[in-house]
A and B are shown apart, each in its own frame.
Chain A
Amino acid sequence: KSQESLQFNGQITPGIGWIDLNTNSSKFYEYRDMKEGFYIPGVQLNAIQPNSGFYLQFGGKRLLWDDQVIRLNLGDYTSFWNISIDHKKTPNRLSNKAMTPYSYRGDGVFNSAGYVGIIKDTIDANGTVSLVPTKAQMHVNDSLVAQFLEKNLLPIDLGTQRNNTSVTLNLMQTEELKYSLTYMHETKTGKRNNYGTLGDRPPRTLNVQLPEPVDYTVSEVLANAEYQTNGFQARFNYTLSSFSNQLDFLRWDNIFFTPDTPNDYITTVAGTPRNASLVGQRALAPDNISHYFTLATSIILPFESRLTATGSIGMMSQNENLLPYSYSDLGGDRNAANGDSLNWNDPNKLPINTASAKINTMRLDFEYLINPFNALNLKAYARYYKLDNQTPINQWRYVTQDVATTDGDVSYVNYRRNLAHGFDNMKFGIDLRYYLNFWRTSIGLGAVRENINREYREANTGENIINASLRTRPMKWLSLSAGYLMGDRQIDEYNYMVTSQSYWYSFERGANQVDNPQFLFANHPDLRKYDVSDRKRNKMNVSANLNLLDDLDLSASFTNKSDDFDSQVTPVAPFANTLVPLPNPEDKNAMTPGKQLGLLKDNRQNISINLQYVASEWLTLSMYADQENAKYDIRGMVYNENLRNQPSSQSSSQPTQLGPWNDPNRLYMSNTEEITNSIGLGVMIEVIPGKLRFSTDANVSMATVDMIYSGYGSDPSYLGRDWETFDFGFNSPGKAEFNQYVVNASVEYKVFNNLTCGLHFMFNQYEITDWIQEPSGAWVEFVESENFLRDTSRDNRWGNRLVSLGSYLAPGYTANAVFLNITYMF
């Protein structure tokens, strides 16, 4: 009988669409799937049994497309259970125009169609093998690469598709006790743009931009139990999350490989022949698993005060089988005196064969609320978080033997130790809010202390924060608020030598190394990393809300946040106590310039205006305008790390060379300003109430990023030559611009009570100018196609060449689309 009484209602909207897109840009499809022809933008089905309270609700959007969202709910209003099933597809299209000479073979392997066969070495006038091609020879090589690409480039779609399904069961055992259980399964597949490097660093790196395959699944279980009674509630939550990557590595052919060993040198630096591997390989994200247990309780205490306590324990781990140091069989230290007869591609060369990485976390949070008297709210809290990194620290070697010199060990400076970075954060504070008895005014005051201790970092930090706020409503139609926050973060001591902890060679073995970070310094002593530096923060906001009429709201706000990272840097003598014998002993007293390097200031400002007009149910209007202005200043320095132990060296002091680290003339500044202007408008009019409705919205976002570069590298008077032809020269790049224009308009006409026709129009335009995505300076150029780029301002190293997937992988576009829908309600 109850089956017979099942009542249905719902609606289905089929439609048809036309799209006019002037450029097949992935940006148009970035997070959406949109196709011409038949589609189903929406379905809703509801069923209920009035007798039993059983219900079923099904809703779906964009059902035939790859950005669909589906939800099914079923349950019982009387016996208090329900099940919901959610399914969501999320595309992330990255490029429709990328080209690559690589073809995907599955399992993380990309093969090239062949090899370029470049000219490698030459005989100079004295009959000596020169390992750096002449400019003319390198141009021949460039032509060979360009020809190879012209012949072998193939289109490849870049983008990923994330499909997520979750099932949740909610149960109520008693009025006080509830449970829920969720199982979530997600897959993500596709390809994204990334890079493959062979060798160690740029002059000796053979880098290609290539697709990286993505193929992983995530499974999660969330269990929740909740107890609540008068004055007390508790919630326990357990989350298990398992990430499983189907691909352990990315492996690719070296298109520059020339199969005529033993002389297959990739010529980079004179006197340093490098064998090049046939294949490169790097690790992809490892399988990992995490567990979180959380218990939260809240209890009402005397004087109607409330204590909330939350404790959480987390465990993250992964034990992926490690790849060998190198995929190739080039090099090794088989013949070295202290060698182990194993090649670099032998997994037995590793200190451990599985990662054994593990991090435990703990969180404790206490919050106490009380109203000591009616006009005062008080909140006191303490929060503690500890991230305990238990990954074992091992002794590794930074092996770049996929482009090798000769058989043997790696350089001492490549004896590296992985550091188990961890930290703990203790934060406690108090918030007061006092309500005055006029104009509905309240005043807020807050004080916070936050201490963060870090392992293997440059500094621990302690910050005092105070804030004040005011809210008032002097007139019924006017609300005002203002707030101010001041933070003062101080470090205990900045240890610029901390990087040395990631090196493990002995002093005896490394004493003669000229760029020895363990005994000298790695990062410049005047640098302060902004997350562990002193910081003065000032943040203020002012806002006003005007109810000009009953149906008209206008609000405006202004926010400014300013971070000043000035850490009172003064000149230091980093070699004063070094154990390394210096070529010039007087360099022990060499002083840094004492000008702070790194991010110096970051200022972000925002002005917003918002207007809402709701004349009636048949006419609404909304508008907003927003301007965001971000400015950040960075100071850098150009210096020669290979002559770190002899700043007084004449060779490093030449104007056209990388300079010594103590030369204040080698400083440069970049001042960046980002301005984003956004405006939006929305209108809804019921032209014929209940029958004909028109709605439209329009959004414009116009952004510029302008970097002004000054100082060393941009100043021809100092360099003695133009920055374009100086290999360490740079200059202010062109302004990057990102403009988006969106207009949506809809007309819906209710033909019958259960049938509505809708006509929807969409206009999208995206404009982009970005110096980072296309060579625009004199120092870099295309070679025959946008897929091969070179910089010839210095020499003919391979590090100055890049085979890429193309410029502007997601270019600007203009699109118009029309959709005609019919909604049938039943």
Chain B
Amino acid sequence: SNKSKFGTSAKEVNWVELNSGFKEATFVKDKNVCLSCHEESANKYKHTSHSRAFEFSKEGTLESKDCESCHGPRSKHIEDPDGSLTFTEEQYSKVCMQCHQDNSRMYWSGSIHKSSDVNCVTCHSVMEQKSDEFLLSKNSQTEVCSECHTDVKAKMNKTSHHPVKEGLMDCSSCHNAHGAPGTGMLVKGTINETCYTCHQDKRGPFTWEHAPVREDCSNCHEPHGSNNRNLLTTQNASLCVSCHQYGGHINQYRYNRVSTPYGNGCVNCHMTVHGSNHPSGAKFTR
């Protein structure tokens, strides 16, 4: 069968549409011809998962063309080996999508990355293994993403942060860089559902719900990093006072006077703000 490693019923790109120089070009289908000039690249390439996939799937629709499955029919290039048969980064993405439209790339076409001129080769180094996974252009996901998202990189250095720079989480723990419905390209349908993938203890549902918590974790938390404890968007008691002015005991940072220093201000007593399952949980104190 024409089984492809990538299992996508790969639809071959129209090479002439990408570059009119391919007109009348044919597939050479001989890797050795390519190696005769591109040995240095090939030496790096042979350590990649791409290389192995092609090596062991020669009967695949595209894999059988080996180098030319990505670089197009090269007969004219062999005749005249100049640099004219090149692609823009965006065109390379079309080439990649021959095989990689599947799975997490289903939403790529409408993604904010694509519409912002981010392309496959912006983040991936398909000809060289530079990372442990995913053929990234840098050593790690964090390095790749922070090339553009410097502000997020800076947030990750704040005193309260997720363990991303420590290598125990990746950007892809929460985001699908290849696109997703909704804002933020999150791996789940909503912010909360994304947070629940690790914070199942906050998922509930609870007998006593805290409405803004149930609606959107980011009402109170800044997941990329914060100067306030527990990734809060604002200083502890300030956050509560932003919404609660019941009068008397709760509407000032100092009150209860000993709970502002030490701990979490209001949360010293109202510690179950994510929801309570205690019969006396109406005020989130149990």
Contact = CB atoms under 8 A, between A and B. Distances in A.
B257 interface: yes
A740 B159 contact: yes
B263 A195 contact: yes
Interface stretch (B23-31, B70-78, B79-87, B267-275): B267-275
Nearest to B188: A292
Contacts of A226: 102-103
Nearest to A229: B9
Contacts of B255: 202, 727-728
A457 B210 CA distance: 11
A612 interface: yes
Contacts of A294: 189
Main DSSP-derived SS at the B contact region: loop
Given A359-B204, A367-B110, A628-B155, 12 more contacts: A195-B271, A207-B269, A230-B9, A322-B207, A423-B215, A444-B115, A454-B215, A597-B245, A624-B150, A678-B154, A730-B252, A791-B257
Contacts of B153: 624, 626, 678, 680
A468 to B, nearest CB: 13
B150 A290 contact: no
A202 B269 contact: yes
Contact of A802 (B166, B243, B253, B262): B262
B7 A175 contact: yes
Interface in A398-454: 398-400, 414, 416, 418-421, 423, 431, 433, 444, 454
Contact of B147 (A381, A610, A775): A610
Interface stretch (A127-135, A382-390, A570-578, A579-587): A382-390
A175 B242 CA distance: 55
A640 B247 contact: yes
Interface residues of B, number: 108
A119 interface: no
B34 interface: no
B144 to A, nearest CB: 12
A177 to B, nearest CB: 8
A320 B117 CA distance: 50
B242 A530 contact: yes
28 contacts: A32-B163, A90-B168, A177-B7, A202-B256, A202-B259, A216-B201, A288-B200, A308-B106, A308-B110, A318-B206, A318-B277, A355-B206, A385-B190, A389-B209, A456-B211, A471-B117, A597-B245, A608-B150, A628-B155, A676-B155, A703-B158, A705-B228, A713-B254, A772-B262, A774-B262, A800-B256, A801-B258, A807-B262
Contacts of A396: 279-280, 282
B200 A310 contact: no
A638 B255 CA distance: 11
A672 B282 contact: no
Contact of A369 (B3, B110, B238): B110
Interface string A657-691: 01001000000101010101010100000000000
B4 interface: yes
A398 B157 contact: no
Interface string B156-185: 011100010011100000000000011000
Contacts of B246: 522-524, 641
Contacts, number: 410
Contacts of B16: none
A775 B262 CA distance: 8
A668 to B, nearest CB: 7
Interface string A622-645: 001010100010101111111010
A559 B200 CA distance: 34
A397 B282 CA distance: 8
Contacts of A146: none
Contact of A235 (B106, B155, B157, B241): B106
A325 interface: yes
A286 B109 contact: no
Given A201-B249, A312-B189, A418 B282 contact: yes
B248 A642 contact: yes
Interface in A10-34: 30-32
A175 B4 contact: yes
B183 to A, nearest CB: 9
A109 interface: no
B106 A636 contact: no
Interface stretch (A53-61, A253-261, A506-514, A748-756): A53-61
Contact of A638 (B106, B219, B252, B260): B252
A291 interface: no
B235 A78 contact: no
A629 B235 CA distance: 14
A472 B38 CA distance: 34
Given A399-B280, A738-B158, A202 B204 contact: no
A704 to B, nearest CB: 8
B167 A61 contact: yes
Interface string A696-720: 0001010101010100010000000
Interface in A129-176: 172, 174-176
B251 A636 contact: yes
A205 B242 CA distance: 24
Contacts of A205: 256, 269
A233 interface: yes
B205 A640 contact: no
B52 interface: yes
Contact of A230 (B11, B254, B257, B262): B11
Interface in A76-96: 77-78, 80, 88, 90, 92
A420 B210 CA distance: 10
Contact of A400 (B168, B235, B280): B280
Interface string A550-564: 000001010100000
B208 A608 contact: no
Contacts of A229: 9
Given A235-B106, A703-B159, A730-B252, A324 B279 contact: yes
Q: Which 10 A-B pairs have the closest CB atoms?
A: A77-B56, A641-B247, A31-B163, A791-B257, A626-B154, A202-B256, A285-B201, A701-B157, A678-B154, A283-B278
A53 B56 contact: yes
Interface in B12-49: none
